[in-house]
Amino acid sequence: MRQFNSLLKQPELTALNARSIEAQVAQEIWKAVAPDNLAQFSHASSIKNKQFNLFADNSAIAAKIKLFIPSLLIKLENQGCEVTSIQVKVQVKSGSPPKTKRIKKLSSIAAIELNQLSEKLSGTPLGEALARLATKAK
């Protein structure tokens, strides 16, 4: 157990923990001052040098936040934050993998109907195409 506790007291982990707490505090402040429709698509990263740093999920949200900067600065001041500017960056989240296309097959009844129609239209390009389609369906 001592080895694990000594591992947690390393300076790198202490700095990482301090950064994590700083980001959590900034996020709580952002949730308090941001409109709900903007807060759900953005998150705060830090408050450094009187600058509030935000990440938006897309450029439309970033543009909307930039329109609200004057009123957000006033709200931040009312919260007791000494902030003179807000920096907004876009951080796009990776999307879900594309869905695989489902291969559609003809039913056996449809294949029989297509085969009958291809026999009626035999000798024509359409009849030949229908015959190929009917054989693939079987």
Higher-confidence residue of 105 and 4: namely 105
* Mean pLDDT within 93-103: 78
40-58 average pLDDT score: 92
Please list, in sequence order, all residues whose beta carbon lies within 8 angstroms of the beta carbon of residue 90, skipping any fewer than 6 positions away: 55, 56, 57, 58, 59, 62
Question: Is residue 53 scored above 90 in pLDDT?
Answer: yes
Which tokens is 23 given? 């980001």
pLDDT at 137 over 80: no
Distance CA 136, CA 138 (A): 6
